[in-house]
Copies of this chain bind each other. A is one copy, B any other.
């Protein structure tokens, strides 16, 4: 019931607000309604977690040991770029400016449903990522990811 999918491009106004796509909003778990966490993604994009999904991430981070160097680094570099945001009465979110800069987002942003979370891209970066991925590589990656679990593929 709450698996995000689809792609939606919206514009950003002068105050840094973006409409949250209505179709995605309908998929958000009611427990988390209006409450999200944005965090820097691995590629040049942002991840948006509804609160209920974020709790899983936090649980994983809390297992990192604060008194080992690797544990602290992991935690610090993940949490420092995470921030709570929520929808306003018009179902918009305001993305912190640091995060916009990181993701190269200025006047438009693309939401991509990714199952448990949502990615936010600048159109330019998304296009670059698309271009750097040729069709063969995509097929290979797809096989690698899906091949194992998909037994109907075998015969």
Interface size on A, residues (CB 8 A): 57
What chain B residues lie within 8 Å of A37 (beta carbons)?
Answer: 5
What chain B residues lie within 8 Å of A150 (beta carbons)?
Answer: 56, 116
**A:44-103 near B, CB below 8 Å:** 53, 56-64, 66-67, 70, 72-84, 98
With A6-B82, A152-B56: A75-B142 Cβ-Cβ less than 8 Å: no
Whether A149 pairs with B42 at a CB distance below 8 angstroms is: no
Whether B153 pairs with A116 at a CB distance below 8 angstroms is: yes
Contact partner of A56 (CB less than 8 A), chosen from B7, B77, B119, B151, is: B151
Least CB separation from A82: chain B residue: B5
